[in-house]
Structure 1
């Protein structure tokens, strides 16, 4: 008599929101709507910088530290370069670098988190202490150490920030993987012969999508801030390529003569980081049914 093995029971449905429904939940929250507007405006400014910028961002003129006017809508910096053009191209630099950094850090961190959380044992014993070591260093200090060791430049800046942000994703995904791998439906899936790879992609990874999305958004905000900080210290994107951090640094020496070279990039950094943080907080509430409706 052959005994039939019952198929693995279906797991509880993962809390998912369709694209339109998720957007509705975010826009229904006024704070979330503000974050969406800020992110969209800054993204469009970065994408269409060559079309929106009235001048070449590196072109110098004799209008040093000129105040806002019809010729220079946001004024000019210490070299007579148009601040509006440099701010638009600075947005492109900051957002591009941050997006590349968070994408690479996210992929590596998710893979490490899945391996550590699902397989546990030796893999977790190796990966988790490595992440703890990286977490033990202040973020900016660790980024400074990597850039200082390899030298300033865009490539080294990206490498430094990727190393800094990998543990953020690894820890979040590891926690979800540990929890999901102990669920009865995962045990049943193992019993009926599903491979570990299939279990990870069918059960574990889908349950990690929501925390990954939130972590991606909030890490983008932090990456913009750290990129600007390293640029301010002269260790980020190198002149003459515009970046908000380097603009802020070069303008500080002329604050007694004109506030605009420092005020404009400083406000852009603040508003952009605020927008991504607001979007991240609202996204977290929208993806977690337990937090909906608290605001």
Structure 2
């Protein structure tokens, strides 16, 4: 087979993303048709900036999903094929069989792995960590920020002090401390996971109890069902191989393997916990400030006059009216988290060395950057486009939320 020229490479790369183009077209068509019924999300399609950002973000979301289904990748991202080390884009595969894809579309890296397949698989590494970790950080920040801003006083002073204490540490140094093997072996990340991951359960319990406190016949079965499922997911998150804590000095039994919904590899759990821990104080401060402002509004005073409880007011009066700034910050924070994950991967921390995450791939490619651009350029542009899309999406959401 002959090497591919630039135009042929571009056409073949675009063709590999066919499932993504189809999914994007369906999402946009459905959203445009029903946008008037979709609230803030529907209004996003009135903003050109928001639409561009949404398209970039969903492109990588669908890429990550379809990469897991092996609908886009051309080769195993971990496979090292003889003779393909540091090959330029479009190089034909040596000794390719009928079932093999014939080229390395974006070339080979310093270990003879396919750059295109690693770039595509790397999208899933970001998609499966950044949004969920950011959501958990918001659960922690909201659960602590609302009472701090609403009640004030000593509770606010104590929680604000703890938040400022964490924020006083340089982020990269804090990440480095949390993911180093010496700290991991002490079990500190596992203990942190046990504490931080309980906050969504607390949030759900207070949310449902405050909403249905006047309907005890519905409240009790609802709380039992929802919290039972949430606690099962919680134990599945923090249990690995049937153990909650597994260190050289401590072994604490966890959820039995037959009931464990999924196992999170140790490296990913450490990164996940680190992201939640670092982002939570900032979210706390934002929620606290919003609560302090909104609690002075007339509709809050009206709820107090009706005799509503404090948590009902916080969760059903204050929080819904703070959704605009929080949604915008959520999008921006996913972008920050994506950059942090890339930084960790670049320094070889947290995720396994063979992981195709973009940070690790950029780090491996930079070693020969003066000779070969392609191994580092593809993941760097991918990271740039995803963060750009998140920033544009946040701008679009901010623009539309201000119109309400």
Give the alignment's TM-score, normalised by structure 2. Answer: 0.64
Q: Does residue 1:245 correspond to 2:277, yes or no?
A: no
Match of 1:263 among 368, 377, 402: 377
Give the whole-Å Cα distance in 2 for the aligned partners of 1:173 and 1:228: 27
Residues 186-214 of structure 1, C-alpha deviation per residue, up to 9 Å, x if partnerless? 23322332111221222111112112111
Q: CA deviation at 1:24?
A: 4.8
The residue that corresponds to 1:167 in the other structure is 281
Match of 1:45 in 2: 63
SS of structure 1 residue aligned to 2:164: helix
Matched, 1:219 2:333: yes
Instruction: Write the distance in 2 (CA, Å) between the matches of 1:21 and 1:154.
Output: 35
Q: Which residue of 2 aligns with 1:56?
A: 76
Are residues 182 and 208 of structure 1, via their aligned partners in 2, closer, same or farther at CA, if it must alter by over 3 Å? same
User: Partner residue of 2:96?
Assistant: none
Q: Which position in structure 2 is the counterpart of 1:137? A: 169
8 Å CA contact 1:150–1:156 kept in 2: the answer is: no
| Higher RCO (C-alpha 8 Å, min separation 6) | 1
- Of the structure 1 ranges 219-228 and 280-289, higher mean CA displacement relative to structure 2 is found in 280-289
**Partner Cα separation in structure 2 for residue 192 and residue 41 of structure 1:** 47
The 1:57/1:124 distance shift into structure 2, 3 A limit, reads: same
Distance 2:384 2:313 in 1: 42
Please state whether the residue corresponding to 1:178 is helix, strand or coil. helix
Number of residue pairs matched? 274
Q: Is the 8 A contact 2:36 2:43 kept in 1?
A: no
Q: 1:127 aligns with which of 129, 147, 159?
A: 159
2:322 aligned with 1:208, yes or no? yes
- Residue aligning to 2:54: 36
Q: How far is the alpha carbon of 1:21 from its aligned partner? A: 4.9
The question of whether the paired residues in 1 share the 8 Å contact of 2:345 and 2:360 is answered with yes
**Alpha-carbon distance between aligned partners in 2 of 1:210 and 1:41, rounded to the nearest angstrom:** 24
Q: State the shift of 1:170 in Å.
A: 1.0
Which consecutive unaligned segments of at least 5 residues does structure 2 have? 1-34, 93-102, 185-265
1:99 and 2:131 correspond? yes
Determine the C-alpha separation between the residues in 1 that align with 2:105 and 2:364.
19
Q: How many Å separate the matches in 2 of 1:242 and 1:61?
A: 16
TM-score computed with the length of structure 1 as normaliser: 0.87
Corresponding position of 2:111: 79
Alpha-carbon offset, residue 96 of structure 1: 1.2
Give the Cα separation in 2 of the matches to 1:208 and 1:73.
Answer: 46
Q: CA RMSD in A?
A: 1.9
Q: Is the 8 A contact 2:145 2:284 kept in 1?
A: yes
CA distance in 1, matches of 2:183, 2:398: 36
In structure 2, the residue matched to 1:150 is 183
| Alignment partner, residue 117 of structure 1 | 149
Matched residue of 2:74: which SS?
A: coil
